C-alpha cells in the first residue's frame, strides 16, 4: 500500500494534515468507501467520467492510492483515451506509481466496489465536502501558527485569514462553464426585471436623472472613479448621490471617509437637506427658533436613511475589504463610496513605490466590487498639471489621473467634475454654478458630458434643466418630467433660483 503524504491537501500546503490529526487525536474528515465507489464507477462506467471530472479533482481524495488512480484517469480523459482497468494500469506505470498504489490487485478490487452510477453526483458531492473540511483545518491551522508570531503584521494576517476562507468558498463553487441557452434564460429574466422597474435603468439610481440616463444606473461589480481638482465639489457630488440613494430610494450605502471626520460629512448633508446656511450648520451663527424647528423636521428622513459611515484614516486595502464584506453581510449594503483612493494604503511590500501601491489599491477595489457584486465609487485626485491649463484646455483628461495609469485601466467608468466658475468669475452669468459631469470612460456605454448645476449655498448638484436638449432629445426625457420632480424645499427644479443666486 502507498505511504500517505500530505493527504487531502493541496501540494502547495505547508501544513501537514497528519501532524494535526496526531496532535488532536482525531482522524481528518474522510470517506474512503465513497472514494472507492467513485473510482469503481469511473473504471467500469466511462460515461460518468466527464461529469465527475467537472465536480471533483485529485485533492478531493484523502487516501493517497485513490488520489493516484484518479490522477491517472484524469490524464487519460484529457487525452480522450478510453478508460478501463487496462488503460489505467498502463497510465499508472507510465507515471511510475503502479506498484505504489497496490498494482493490478488494487485496481481489480476497486472495480468490484462500484456504486450505482446514478449516484455518482451525490458521491462526488460527499468527497468535495470532506475536502472542504480538510482544507478548512489546514488553512485555519496555518493562520493559527502565524498568529503566535509577534513579528507578523496583524492587518496582513487578517487579510490572509479572509483570503484562506474565501479561496475555499471559490474552490467549492461548481464549474462555471455554462451552455449559452441557460445564460440566455438569465438574460431574458434580467430584461424582464428591468422592464418591470419602469424607470429605464438596469442598475442602482443616483437620483440625478441626466446622469442615470447615460449610465443606466450603477451596475453591480463596477468600479466608478470620480475625479476633480481640489475644491471642485467631488465630495459634495458623491454625498448627493449617497443622500439620494439612501433617503429617496432606501438603498443601503457605505461611505468610507478617509479625509473628513464623519460629523463634518453629516453637517454637509444637513446643509443640503435643510436649506440652512453653512454658517449656521458648520459655524457659530445662531439659529432662530423657527430654524431649529426646520432643522429637526427636515433631517428626520436623513436620520432614518440606511447610510453607514466609516471614518478610518489611512485605511489599508485589507481593512477596507474586511469592513466592506461585513457591511454587505450585516447591513445589506448595495453601494460603496470611498473618499478618496489616494489616502488608502496598499500592500506593505509596496510602501515607498507609490505608483505600484496605487495600482495595487485600484486592482483591489475592482476585485472587491466583483467579489461582493456591488458598485464601488472611489474619488481620485488629479495631477497638478491640470491646474496650470486654462480655457478650453482646462477640462480634465484621463491622463490627468494622479499617480497611476492603472486607475483608468481598472475602472469601468471614469467621471470628472468640471465647474465653469471654478477659481474665476465667469463673464457669462449663466456660467455661475454651471457644471459638466464628464464621462471620459464608460466600458459599457457612451462617453459624454452630463450638464448639471452646483448650488454652492446648499452644497448640492442638480440637473441643469436649461440644457433641455440633453434631457429631452438625447434621452427621450422631457423637461416637464424633470420639472415635476419636487425637491426637499417643496419647489420644483423648474422653480429653482436664477443662476446669479447660486
Cα 177 to Cα 120, 125, 180, 490, distances in angstroms = 20, 18, 9, 53
Cell matching residue 38: 467513485
* Cβ pair 42, 124 in contact under 8 A: no
State the number of CA atoms in the 13 A half-sphere of 34 facing the CB: 20
Report the residue count for the chain.
Answer: 502
* Cβ pair 86, 108 in contact under 8 A: no
209 is catalytic: no
Instruction: Name the active-site residue from 45, 71, 163, 259.
Output: 259
Cell matching residue 281: 450648520
* Cβ pair 377, 337 in contact under 8 A: yes
First-to-last alpha carbon distance for the chain, in angstroms, is 85
Helices (H), 216-316: 234-243, 262-274, 278-281, 289-298, 300-304
| Cα dihedral 365, 367, 373, 375 sign | positive
Angle at 422 between CA 420 and CA 425, to 5 degrees: 80
Helices (H) and strands (E) counted in the chain, each on its own, are: 22, 9
Backbone region of residue 382 per phi and psi (left: phi > 0; alpha: psi in -120 to 50; beta: other values): beta
| Cβ-based burial of 431 (10 A; exposed 0-12, middle 13-18, buried ≥19) | middle
Residue for grid cell 448639471: 452
Could you give phi then psi for residue 252, rounded to 5 degrees? -65, 130
Could you give phi then psi for residue 380, rounded to 5 degrees? -140, 150
Cell matching residue 205: 439610481
- Which residues make Cβ contacts (< 8 Å) with residue 199, sequence separation at least 6? 205, 212
Strand-strand pairing, 460-463 and 448-455? antiparallel
Q: Which positions are annotated as active-site residues?
A: 259
Amino acid at each position: 500500500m502507498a505511504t500517505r503524504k500530505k493527504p487531502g491537501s493541496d501540494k502547495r500546503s505547508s501544513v501537514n494534515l497528519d501532524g494535526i490529526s496526531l496532535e488532536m487525536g482525531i482522524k481528518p474528515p474522510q470517506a474512503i468507501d465513497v472514494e472507492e465507489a467513485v473510482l469503481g464507477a469511473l473504471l467500469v462506467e466511462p460515461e460518468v467520467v466527464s461529469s465527475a471530472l467537472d465536480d471533483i479533482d485529485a485533492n478531493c481524495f484523502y487516501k493517497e492510492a485513490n488520489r493516484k488512480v484518479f490522477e491517472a484517469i484524469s490524464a487519460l480523459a484529457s487525452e480522450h483515451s478510453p478508460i478501463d482497468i487496462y488503460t489505467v494500469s498502463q497510465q499508472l506505470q507510465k507515471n511510475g506509481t503502479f506498484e505504489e498504489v497496490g498494482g493490478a490487485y488494487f485496481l481489480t478490487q476497486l472495480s468490484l466496489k462500484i456504486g450505482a452510477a446514478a449516484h455518482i453526483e451525490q458521491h462526488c458531492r460527499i468527497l468535495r465536502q470532506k475536502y472542504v473540511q480538510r482544507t478548512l483545518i489546514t488553512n485555519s491551522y496555518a493562520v493559527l501558527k502565524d498568529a503566535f508570531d509577534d513579528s507578523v503584521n496583524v492587518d496582513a494576517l487578517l487579510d490572509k485569514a479572509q483570503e484562506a476562507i474565501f479561496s475555499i468558498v471559490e474552490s467549492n463553487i461548481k464549474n462555471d462553464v455554462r451552455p449559452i441557452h441557460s445564460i440566455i434564460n438569465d438574460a431574458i429574466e434580467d430584461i424582464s426585471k428591468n422592464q418591470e422597474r419602469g424607470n429605464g435603468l438596469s442598475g442602482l439610481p443616483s437620483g440625478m436623472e441626466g446622469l442615470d440616463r447615460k449610465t443606466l444606473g450603477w451596475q453591480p461589480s463596477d468600479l466608478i472613479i470620480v475625479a476633480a481638482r481640489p475644491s471642485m465639489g467631488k465630495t459634495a457630488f458623491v454625498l448627493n448621490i449617497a443622500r439620494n440613494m439612501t433617503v429617496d430610494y432606501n438603498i443601503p450605502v457605505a461611505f468610507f471617509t478617509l479625509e473628513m471626520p464623519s460629523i463634518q460629512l453629516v453637517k454637509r448633508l444637513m446643509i443640503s437637506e435643510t436649506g440652512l446656511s453653512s454658517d449656521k450648520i458648520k459655524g457659530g451663527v445662531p439659529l432662530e427658533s423657527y430654524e431649529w424647528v426646520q432643522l429637526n423636521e427636515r433631517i428626520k428622513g436623513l436620520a432614518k436613511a440606511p447610510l453607514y459611515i466609516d471614518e478610518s484614516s489611512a485605511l489599508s486595502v485589507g481593512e477596507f475589504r474586511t469592513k466592506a464584506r461585513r457591511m454587505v453581510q450585516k447591513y445589506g449594503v448595495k453601494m460603496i463610496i470611498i473618499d478618496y483612493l489616494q489616502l488608502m494604503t496598499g500592500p506593505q511590500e509596496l510602501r515607498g513605490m507609490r505608483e505600484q501601491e496605487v495600482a495595487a489599491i485600484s486592482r483591489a477595489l475592482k476585485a472587491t466590487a466583483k467579489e461582493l457584486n456591488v458598485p464601488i465609487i472611489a474619488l481620485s485626485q488629479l495631477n497638478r498639471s491640470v491646474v496650470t491649463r486654462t480655457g478650453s484646455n482646462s477640462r480634465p483628461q484621463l491622463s490627468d489621473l494622479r499617480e497611476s495609469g492603472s486607475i483608468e485601466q481598472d475602472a469601468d467608468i471614469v467621471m470628472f467634475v468640471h465647474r465653469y466658475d471654478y477659481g474665476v468669475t465667469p463673464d457669462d452669468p449663466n456660467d455661475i454654478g454651471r457644471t459638466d459631469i464628464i464621462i471620459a470612460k464608460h466600458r459599457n456605454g457612451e462617453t459624454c458630458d452630463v450638464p448639471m448645476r452646483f448650488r454652492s449655498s446648499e452644497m448640492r448638484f442638480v440637473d441643469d434643466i436649461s440644457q433641455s436638449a440633453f434631457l429631452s432629445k438625447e434621452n427621450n426625457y422631457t423637461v416637464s418630467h424633470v420639472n415635476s420632480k419636487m425637491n426637499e424645499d417643496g419647489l420644483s427644479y423648474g422653480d429653482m433660483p436664477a443662476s446669479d443666486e447660486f
